[in-house]
Amino acid sequence: MWDYTDKVKEHFFNPHNVGEIEDPDGIGEVGSLACGDALKLTFKLDQNGKIKDAKFKTFGCASAIATSSVLTDMLKGLTIEQAAKITNKDIADYLGGLPEQKMHCSVMGREALEAAIENYRTGGKKKHELEGKVVCTCFGVTENEIKRVIRDNNLTTIEQVTNYCKAGGGCGGCKGEIEKIIESIQGEKAGQILEAAPRWAGRLTNIQKIQLIQQTINEQIRPALRAHGGNIELIDVEDNKVIVAFRGMCAQCMLAEFTMKDLVEAKLKEFVSDEIFVEEYEDSTKQPHNHKG
Amino acid sequence: MKTIYFDNNATTKVTDEVLEEMKPFFCKLYGNPSSMHTFGGQISRNICHAREQVADLLGCDHGEIILTSCGTESDNTAIKGTLAAQPNKRKVITTRVEHPAVLTVCRDLENHGYTIVELGVDKKGNLDLAELEEQLDDNTALVTIMYANNETGVIFPVEKIADIVKSKNAVFHTDAVQAVGKLPLNLSKSHIDLLSLSGHKLHAPKGVGALYVRKGTRLQPFMLGGHQEAGKRAGTENVPGIVGLGKACELAAKNIKNENEMVRHLRDKLESAILQSCPDCIINGDKKNRLPNTTNISFEFIEGEAILLMLDKYGICASSGSACTSGSLEPSHVLRAMGVPFTAAHGSIRFSLSRYNTEKEVDYTIEIMPKIVNRLRELSPFVGR
């Protein structure tokens, strides 16, 4: 059971400002049914340019509903400039805090607000749209968004990033990339750019090398393949040649060569040694299909 | 406020009679059954009796029962113990809808060089046995497939599966944690090799379980460090728990038929009333092939955790396959494997009943449910589009 503050429960059971303003000055939408939470925010200004009224409609858990409710309360009486400065942390603080795994609800509130302000200013898009490179394809989270939550909330671990913006919470294939973003930002802050520490220092024994290859496959490669119904098996290691077999969807995949070269070899070069190259086990194409549909 | 407990697939109330049986074994008969003195040693008779009670419910010999600490331990023992006993075979077949106590163990084996095949299910949650036959080969050490699903209640044809597996000389284990006490079993007439059960799902206390191991099945012990359970499971026996499990099995054997009829009636009443009063609801799982106590309903456009908290306010306990309830970001792996759309999976609620539920409780829930659904749908941006 989640440990919600009284304020969260109060706003969940009796949310304020539910609904949609007719003929609003700004509309912001974020999330979708598939994501598990979604928020539609509308606001109207008075003649002095201050937010007179704000309303919401939310699909989501208790903390998503409570977050939306307090956000609309917070907005009333603010100018657009003041509203634009609200961070997800402000929203969470207003609720007396949220469980760590629910922080993404406060980020959703801030995103909807940004989209609504953008819509007011330009009359353009109402939807919170992806800008920049998408890092997490499962939840459609961009590099910019990840950087933003790391900066706003001073995050230091991948798990935190997942809790705050969902990135990395699906197949987990982007965790390595998230780690690098964290390193670059936390390094920036300390006034020094951290170089990715090489995992491989000095000479590895054969046993160490094989273990490292197996570990890299288990942690970095298999989760991404599994998310698409596939799998990989380490067959053998001969010097720098790594022989693997693809299972399930991967074995049938027309892009098997592409996947192997791109993903497996790149990851092994990155985490084990630059000299690694990958070959596909000959019999693997004869393996039957793992899954149907 | 009175609690209405509709979460019996998570755990159950300990029956009063079970508790009474257990009581003497805390402060009066607290000896160690392995001791040489009468005070302790006599207690092994109580364990023996409990083992017979468990065996009677399963329709097997008492020598085929290993007492464990829980269903998860039984599953771990069955899977790892079987593989350790056949080091030459490196393939395991399971399904995508198993409980984590099986699925996580299998996926971990993958990291140790095993090939794991996860069979898929159709929209109703049923398996395709032809796919199983196709996958079974000489390299297959173990097939582990659950008896009944904890989330949807869907029952797999394990007897048929056991026959197929037997014909290919592999070992068959079934996680029957949700089935024991709810479905009649007779293992003496079955080809099931290993079967896991858990005490607290059938009105015994938490912390006790059992593993049925058919005579002649090779199994390496999982817990080492003592001679208990004929050397198959080390560790001083949880005597009160074991005595409680025995009594609970005896009661289940006696009452299974009448109780199930009563529970099925209440479940069906609850389910059909909710379907009627709340539009845009879907039943997850094969309606004709389910445990009598379970219903899993998806409410479109609203989210499971919010529904649970509203129910909680009225004292009604249920559970959800929504992502938000688990702390993960993706909804139930069972519903996803069935191809339930994410939208419906996020709004899924499981009600699981027991013999302690009443008609009055069901009527009250039937009255409350549409209010909650309507309230949350008023908040939802997806309604009325």
Q: Are residue B248 and residue B293 in the same domain, yes or no?
A: no
Q: How confident is the model at residue A35 (pLDDT cuts 50, 70, 90)?
A: confident
Confidence of residue A284 (pLDDT cuts 50, 70, 90): very low
Give residue-wise pLDDT tens across range A56-114. Answer: 999 998 999 999 999 999 999 999 999 999 999 999 999 999 998 899 999 999 999 99
Mean pLDDT of A262-284: 82
CA distance B227 to B191: 28
Domain CATH for A104: 3.90.1010.10
Question: Do B324 and A36 make contact, defined as CB atoms within 8 angstroms?
Answer: yes
Which one from A35, A61, A171, A253 is the annotated catalytic residue? A35
Q: Kindly state whether residues B223 and B272 are assigned to the same domain.
A: no
Range with lowest mean pLDDT among A173-187, B120-134, B306-320? A173-187
Pairing between β-strand B316-317 and β-strand B4-5 as defined by DSSP bridges? parallel
CATH number of A174's domain: 1.10.10.1100
| Burial degree of B130 (CB within 10 A; 0-12, 13-18, 19+) | exposed
A270-278 mean pLDDT:
87
Are residue B265 and residue B375 in the same domain, yes or no? yes
Q: Do B380 and A57 touch (CB under 8 A)?
A: yes
A196 within domain boundaries: no
C-alpha A148/C-alpha A110 separation (Å) is 11
Amino acid A196: pLDDT: 41
Q: Let me know whether B310 and B359 are in one domain.
A: yes
Amino acid identity at B370: P
Whether B99 and B244 map to the same domain: the answer is: yes
The per-residue pLDDT for range B42-79, each reduced to its tens digit, is: 999 999 999 999 999 999 999 999 999 999 999 999 99
Residue B304, domain CATH: 3.90.1150.10
Residues in chain A with CB shorter than 8 Å from the CB of B111 are 214, 218
* Residue numbers of the domain that contains B188: 16-252
Best mutation target among A4, A61, A215, A249 (most B Cβ atoms within 10 Å) is: A61
Rounded to 10 degrees, what is the CA torsion of A247, A248, A254, A259? -60
Q: Taking CB atoms and an 8 Å limit, are B115 and A247 in contact across chains?
A: yes
Q: Which domain holds residue A10?
A: 6-122
User: How far is residue B105's CA from residue B110's CA, in Å, rounded to a whole number?
Assistant: 9
Same domain, A262 and A225: yes
Chain B hits for A231, CB-CB cut-off 8 Å, are: 110, 116
Cα A29 to Cα A291: distance, rounded to the nearest angstrom: 37
Q: Is residue A292 part of a domain?
A: no
Q: Predicted confidence band at A287 (pLDDT cuts at 50, 70, 90)? A: very low
Provide the shortest C-alpha distance from residue A193 to chain B (in Å): 32
Whether residue B361 sits in one domain with residue B238 = no
pLDDT band at residue A198 using 50, 70 and 90 as cut-offs: very low
- The verdict on B202 and B341 lying in the same domain is no
Cβ of A33 and B329 within 8 Å?
Answer: no
Q: Is residue A129 part of a domain?
A: no
Q: Are residues B80 and B220 in the same domain?
A: yes
**Is A138 considered catalytic here?**
no
Whether residue A117 is found in the same domain as residue A22: yes
Contact B303, B346 (CB under 8 A): yes
* One domain for residues B189 and B278: no
Confidence of residue A205 (pLDDT cuts 50, 70, 90): confident
Q: Residue B384: inside a domain, yes or no?
A: no
- Cα A196 to Cα A160, A180, A200, B84, distances in angstroms: 20, 7, 11, 40
pLDDT tens figures, B183-238: 999 999 999 999 999 999 999 999 999 999 999 999 999 999 999 999 999 999 99
Nearest CA in chain B to A165: B329
Does residue B385 lie within any of the structural domains?
Answer: no
Q: Of A122, A153, A174, which one is at a domain's C-terminal end?
A: A122
Q: At B363, is the pLDDT very low, low, confident or very high (cuts 50, 70, 90)?
A: very high
Distance CA A287, CA A230 (A): 12
Q: Which of A9-13, A265-269, B19-23, B162-166 has the lowest mean pLDDT?
A: A265-269
**A40 domain residue, yes or no:** yes
Cα–Cα dist A1/B286, whole Å: 29
pLDDT tens track for A233-254: 888 899 889 998 887 666 655 5
Neighboring chain A residues of B322 at a CB cutoff of 8 Å: 36, 61
Contact A36 B382 (CB under 8 A): no
Q: Which residues lie across from B360 on neighbouring strands?
A: none
**C-alpha–C-alpha distance, residues B44 and B55, integer Å:** 16
Which pLDDT does position B314 carry in this prediction? 96
With cut-offs at 50, 70 and 90, classify the pLDDT of residue B151.
very high
State the DSSP string of B140-169. EEEEE--SB-TTT-BBP-HHHHHHHHHHTT
Q: Say if residues A249 and A229 touch (Cβ distance below 8 Å).
A: yes
Are residues A215 and A248 located together in one domain of the fold? yes
pLDDT for B174 equals 98
Instruction: Please name the residue of chain B whose CA is at the shortest distance from the CA of residue A215.
Output: B111
Instruction: Compute and round to an integer the Cα radius of gyration of chain A.
Output: 23
**B196 touches B177 (CB < 8 A):** yes
Residues A12, A73 within the same domain: yes
Q: Which of A61, A105, A171, A174 is catalytic?
A: A105
Quick one: B211 and B69 in the same domain?
yes
Mean pLDDT of chain A: 83
Whether A105 and A155 map to the same domain: the answer is: no
**What pLDDT, on the 0 to 100 scale, is given for residue A184?**
85
* Residues of A whose CB is below 8 A from B339: 293
Q: Are residues B324 and B223 in the same domain?
A: no
- Identify the domain boundary among B252, B273, B300: B252
Are A171 and A225 a contacting pair, CB within 8 Å?
no
Number of domains composing chain A: 3
Quick check: is B235 in a domain? yes
**Alpha carbons within 13 A on the beta-carbon side of B374:** 8
> How far apart are the C-alpha atoms of B278 and B299, rounded to whole Å?
8
Nearest 10 degrees: Cα torsion B160, B163, B167, B170: 100
pTM of the model: 0.85
Question: What is the rounded (10 degree) CA torsion for A186, A189, A191, A196?
Answer: 10
Q: Which residue, B252, B278, B302, sits at the end of a domain? A: B252
- The conformation of residue B229, written as its DSSP 8-state character, comes to G
The answer to whether the CB atoms of A139 and B329 lie below 8 A apart is: yes
Q: Which of B234, B252, B270 is the last residue of a domain?
A: B252
Report how many helices (DSSP H) and strands (DSSP E) chain B contains, helices first: 14, 13
Tell me if B110 and A231 make a contact (CB, 8 A cut-off). yes
Nearest CA in chain B to A172: B329
Q: What angle do CA B105, B354, B16 make, to 5 degrees?
A: 100
Assess if residue B95 is contained within a domain.
yes
DSSP state of B187: G
User: Residue B247's domain is classified under what CATH number?
Assistant: 3.40.640.10
Contacts with A, B 121-160, CB within 8 Å = 128, 131, 134-135
Q: How many independent structural domains does chain B possess?
A: 2
Same domain, A83 and A173: no
Residue A198: CA atoms inside 13 Å, Cβ hemisphere, count? 9
Q: Is B112 on the interface with A (CB under 8 A)?
A: no
Q: What is the pLDDT of residue A189?
A: 56
Residues from chain A that touch B118, judged by Cβ atoms under 8 A, are 290-291
Cβ–Cβ < 8 Å for A202, A171: no
Q: Quick one: three-class SS letters along chain A?
A: CCCCCHHHHHHHHCCCCECCCCCCCEEEEEEECCCCEEEEEEEEECCCCEEEEEEEEEECCHHHHHHHHHHHHHHCCCEHHHHHCCCHHHHHHHCCCCCHHHHHHHHHHHHHHHHHHHHHHHCCCCECCCCCCEEECCCCEEHHHHHHHHHHHCCCCHHHHHHHHCCCCCCCCCHHHHHHHHHHHHHHHCCCCCCCCCCCCCCCCHHHHHHHHHHHHHHHHHHHHHHCCEEEEEEEEECCEEEEEEEEHHHHCCCHHHHHHHHHHHHHHHHCCCCCEEEECHHHHHCCCCCCC
Residue B212: per-residue pLDDT: 98
Least confident of A174-178, A256-260, B251-255, B379-383: A256-260
The residue among A96, A122, A148 that closes a domain is A122
